């Protein structure tokens, strides 16, 4: 059934910077939203709708919330960058779009409603908010994961980027739904500001270092998971998860924050989280001959730094080999930042293609590595423009005890090369070389 849901979507973003602020364009997008809702019977009015926005962690948080609510509340539909689920039925999201076209979104919600779903969990991008893809969708609860540098090629400034994220929360406050909820990060300055300035019927904040209602008190990082003790309103709870890294502790707290908002017991939420195996392409771990291979979507400086910080901590006597990237056309200002982070943590770095698209891939790699520190001393940097060769090279030089990170593509099943579109999977490419 799900395979019929997702249709080919035009990549509008290439012309948005020219037309997106015009009155005619904005009016057209809002009209599209009204038409789509009318055609599919305004499905969101019959759902409890949760929107998750932020720079990093959205996909994992959406999947965690879906697991908790589908287990303990009602049949739940979710739409994320990586996957779409109606109850327990799952389909990959192959659109390379975090937020679907308004017609596809309302179509999926209508079909999910007919199949008995009562709850919807939606990953909400700043592009999707700016382009009115959620027009007419009535959100009950808004979740913010964090705000860091990303998508400035589209939004222009951090202020515009932050404002686009804020729209999700104003959607919640302005719609006709009776109860309005929010979950916000206390360790993030934007999260703290939203918590203080916006009035919801119920709001929960979460943190590792700050003062918050949900707070991680003790974290033990393992190669195959994490153990933590967290507190909520003065009571402590213990949780063991298959997810790794400090960033996933925050993702878990955000999902549990939704559960506490809507009345699911923390004990039940913990049980669901402990069964959760993770999301394909999100710090997905493969083990072979004494080496650990990680495939991750890390697409921003903040995401890359958090993943490499964790991997550098667990590598012990081995080396950290990082195959990294920068996509074409998109935000060029973060390219030197990506290298600085790799320079800080990696023992061996391999710069390669991500989605060069229509931009010259050699120029991308030059920009990615142009601010190398100690150029004459960095003998362990390799530049391989073809991703197939980069992954092959990384697996060939690995030794027992090493940790390999393949960053950038994650779950994606398509690569946009200078020579056109091709099927792609980092995970499959790694496994092929391990054979």
What does the pLDDT look like over 228-286, one tens digit per residue?
A: 999 998 899 999 999 999 999 999 999 999 999 999 999 999 999 999 999 988 899 99
**Mean pLDDT rounded to a whole number for the chain:** 86
pLDDT (tens digit per residue) in 153-211: 565 688 888 888 889 999 899 888 888 999 999 999 999 999 999 999 999 999 999 89
Measured from the Cβ of residue 423, the count of other Cβ atoms closer than 10 Å reads 8
pLDDT of residue 53: 94
Angle between helices 189-197 and 158-174 (to 10 degrees): 30
Which CA distances in Å does 383 have to 332, 362, 363, 380?
A: 18, 9, 12, 10
Beta-bridge partner residues of 292: 287, 403
Q: Helix 387-397 vs helix 426-434: angle between axes, to the nearest 10 degrees? A: 40
Residues linked to residue 202 through DSSP beta bridges, in sequence order: 181
**Residues 138-142, mean pLDDT to the nearest whole number:** 94
Burial class, 42, CB count within 10 angstroms (exposed 0-12 / middle 13-18 / buried 19+) = middle
CA–CA dist 404, 352 (Å, integer): 15
Write down the pLDDT at residue 278: 93
**For residue 306, what is the enclosing H or E element?**
helix 301-314
- Tell me the fold of 284-434: 3.90.190
CA atoms of 173 and 190, how far apart (whole Å):
18
pLDDT class for 5, splitting at 50, 70, 90?
very low
The pLDDT, as a whole number, for residue 213 is 96
Give the per-residue pLDDT at 183.
98
DSSP state of 149: S
- Joined together, the tokens standing for residue 36 give 């789509």
Task: Please tell me the distance from the alpha carbon of residue 64 to that of residue 247, in angstroms, as a whole number.
Answer: 14
Task: Tell me the C-alpha distance between 366 and 335, whole Å.
Answer: 10
Higher pLDDT: 332 or 215? It is: 215
For the stretch 270-316, pLDDT in tens is: 999 999 999 988 899 998 888 899 999 887 888 899 999 999 988 88
The predicted pLDDT at position 284 comes to 92
Contact 384, 352 (CB under 8 A): yes
pLDDT for 378? 59
Split at pLDDT 50, 70, 90, the class of 418 is confident
pLDDT of residue 159: 84
Sign of the alpha-carbon dihedral angle for 122, 150, 171, 4: negative
Instruction: Read off the pLDDT of each residue in 42-47 and give the average, rounded to a whole number.
Output: 89
**CATH 3.40.1190.10 is right for the domain spanning 2-275:** yes
> pTM for this structure?
0.86
Count Cβ atoms below 10 Å from residue 394 Cβ, excluding itself.
24
Residue range(s) of every CATH 3.90.190.20 domain in the chain: 284-434
Contacts of the segment 25-34: beta carbons below 8 A, 24+ positions apart: 26/132, 29/102, 29/131, 29/132, 29/133, 29/135, 30/132, 30/135, 32/102, 32/103, 32/132, 32/135, 33/102, 33/132, 33/133, 33/134, 33/135, 33/136, 34/135, 34/136
pLDDT tens by residue, 336-368: 788 889 889 999 999 888 877 878 778 878 777
Q: Which residue spans of the chain are classified as CATH 3.40.1190.10?
A: 2-275
Q: Do 304 and 333 form a contact (C-beta atoms < 8 A)?
A: no
- Helical (H) or strand (E) element with 222: strand 214-222
For residue 3, the model assigns a pLDDT of 46
Which residues fall within 8 angstroms of residue 185, CB to CB, at 6 or more apart? Answer: 54, 144, 145, 146, 191, 192, 205, 206, 207, 250, 254
For 263, residues 6+ apart whose C-beta sits below 8 A from its C-beta are none
Nearest 5°: phi and psi at 153? -60, -30
The pLDDT tens digits of the residues spanning 362-390 come to 887 877 776 554 454 556 888 888 899 99
Q: Which of 167, 176, 162, 140 shows the shortest CA–CA distance to 65? A: 140
Least reliable range by pLDDT among 51-60, 158-167, 217-226: 158-167
133-163 core/surface letters (b: 16 or more CB in 10 A; e: else): bbbbbbbbbbbbbbbbebbbebbeeeeebbe
pLDDT in tens, 68-122: 999 999 999 999 988 999 999 988 766 655 567 888 899 999 999 999 999 999 9
3-class DSSP assignment, residue 372: coil
Res 374: pLDDT: 45
């Amino acid at each position: 059934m799900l395979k019929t849901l997702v249709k080919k979507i035009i990549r509008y973003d290439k012309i948005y910077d020219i037309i997106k602020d015009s009155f005619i364009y904005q009016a057209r997008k809002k009209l599209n939203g009204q038409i789509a809702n009318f055609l599919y019977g305004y499905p969101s009015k019959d759902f409890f709708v949760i929107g998750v926005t932020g720079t990093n962690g959205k996909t994992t948080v959406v999947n965690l919330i879906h697991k908790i609510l589908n287990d303990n509340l009602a049949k739940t539909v979710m739409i994320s960058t990586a996957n779409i689920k109606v109850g327990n039925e799952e389909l990959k999201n192959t659109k390379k779009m975090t937020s679907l076209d308004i017609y596809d979104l309302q179509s999926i919600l209508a079909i999910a409603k007919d199949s008995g779903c009562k709850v919807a969990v939606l990953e909400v991008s700043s592009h999707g908010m700016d382009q009115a893809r959620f027009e007419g969708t009535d959100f009950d609860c808004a979740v913010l994961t964090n705000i860091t540098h990303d998508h400035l090629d589209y939004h222009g400034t951090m202020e515009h980027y932050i404002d686009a994220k804020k729209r999700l929360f104003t959607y919640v406050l302005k719609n006709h739904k009776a109860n309005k909820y929010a979950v916000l990060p206390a360790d993030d300055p934007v999260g703290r500001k939203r918590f203080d300035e916006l009035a919801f019927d119920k709001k929960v904040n979460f943190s590792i270092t700050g003062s918050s209602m949900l707070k991680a008190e003790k974290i033990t990082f393992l190669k195959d998971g994490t153990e933590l003790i967290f507190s909520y309103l003065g009571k402590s709870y213990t949780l063991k998860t298959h997810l790794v890294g400090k960033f996933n502790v925050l993702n878990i707290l955000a999902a549990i924050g939704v559960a506490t908002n809507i009345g699911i017991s923390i004990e039940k939420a913990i049980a669901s989280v402990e069964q959760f195996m993770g999301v394909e392409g999100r710090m997905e771990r493969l083990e072979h001959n004494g080496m650990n291979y990680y495939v991750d979507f890390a697409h921003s400086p903040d995401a890359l730094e958090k993943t490499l910080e964790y991997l550098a901590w667990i590598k012990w006597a081995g080396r950290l080999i990082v195959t990294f990237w920068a996509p074409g056309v998109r935000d060029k200002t973060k390219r030197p930042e990506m290298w600085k982070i790799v320079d800080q943590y990696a023992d061996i770095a391999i710069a390669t293609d991500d989605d060069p698209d229509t931009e010259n891939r050699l120029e991308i790699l030059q920009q990615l590595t142009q601010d190398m520190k100690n150029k004459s001393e960095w003998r362990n940097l390799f530049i391989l423009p073809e991703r197939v060769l980069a992954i092959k090279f990384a697996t060939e030089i690995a030794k027992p005890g090493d940790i390999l990170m393949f960053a950038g593509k994650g779950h994606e099943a398509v690569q946009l090369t200078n020579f056109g579109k091709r099927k792609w999977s980092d995970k499959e490419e790694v496994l092929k070389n391990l054979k």
